Amino acid sequence: MKTIAAITIGQSPRDDVISELGLLVPGVRWAQAGALDGLDLDAVRALEPEPGDLPLVTRLRDGRVVTLGEARLLRPMQHAVDRADAAADLVLVCCTGSFSLSSRAPVLLPGRLLVSTVQALHFDRIAVVTPHDGQTAWEEERWAHAGVSAHVIVEPPYGGEVDFTRVGRNARVHGARAIVMDCFGYTLQARDEVAAASGLPTILVRSLAARIAAELIGEVVAAGARPYDG
């Protein structure tokens, strides 16, 4: 059985994420590691973004939501990869941040995958759903550099106030040709709600990365596959 190492910017395990990945990549073993594993709250707070650093949102093991700086996460992310990749056939980074990581196994970076997918489909105007308002300018610049006009919608992936129906309607009103859900915290259900409300092609980074992982790992994605159960 082949192994995928899932690396989160937060704390592992994230079985809420792995349960959905397992639906799309059945028949593999999942190893998990997190950049914040073993850190207390003071150490986590030391990784909060400084001015000019891209804020990234994740959830701790106790369910608390924290915001971290992308630049400050590079070393903890590399340490997480180092702990998990020894027996892995593939390393899947469960974040769309721009990390440069070394590993003995191939490393799948979903952020780059998103941009390449939109360009391959020739979508010239999209709506991008992102979890933090501090990412808005970065998203606009990122997509403009890729030749794509992006309307950014901020909607946190966690919490009881989330309204993905509103997200879908917003995207359609602003003339998007497709919707990109640019955070690994967004779920398959969230994608379905956005797609139903908008009537637009909706690309969820979590499932997109899983399908490419299945291709790389050499497993056939079986219809009706059973969920991951730990």
Per-residue pLDDT of the chain (230 residues; tens, 9 = 90+): 899 999 999 999 999 999 999 999 999 999 999 999 999 999 999 999 999 999 999 999 888 999 999 999 999 999 999 999 988 999 999 999 989 999 999 999 999 999 999 999 999 999 999 999 999 999 999 999 999 999 999 999 987 778 899 999 999 999 999 999 999 999 999 999 999 999 999 999 999 999 999 999 874 334 333 433 44
Domains of the chain with CATH codes: 3-109+208-217 (no CATH), 112-204 (3.40.50.1860)
Nearest to 151, CA basis, from 134, 136, 135, 166: 136
User: Alpha carbon 138 to chain centroid distance?
Assistant: 16
Strands 29-34 and 107-108: unpaired
Contact 191, 168 (CB under 8 A): no
Instruction: Please classify residue 57 by burial: count the beta carbons closer than 10 Å to its beta carbon, then call 0-12 exposed, 13-18 middle and 19+ buried.
Output: buried
Show Cβ contacts of residue 151 under 8 Å, excluding neighbours closer than 6 positions: 125, 126, 127, 128, 171, 174, 175, 176
CA angle 149, 198, 96 (to 5 degrees): 50
Show Cβ contacts of residue 173 under 8 Å, excluding neighbours closer than 6 positions: none
Q: Which residues of 59-74 are buried (b: 16+ CB within 10 A; e: fewer)?
A: beeeeeebebbbebbb
- Name the strands in the sheet holding 125-130, side by side, starting at the edge strand that comes first in the sequence: 149-154, 125-130, 178-181, 202-204
Q: Which residues of 195-228 are buried (b: 16+ CB within 10 A; e: fewer)?
A: bebbebebbbbbbbbbebbbebbebeeeeeeeeb
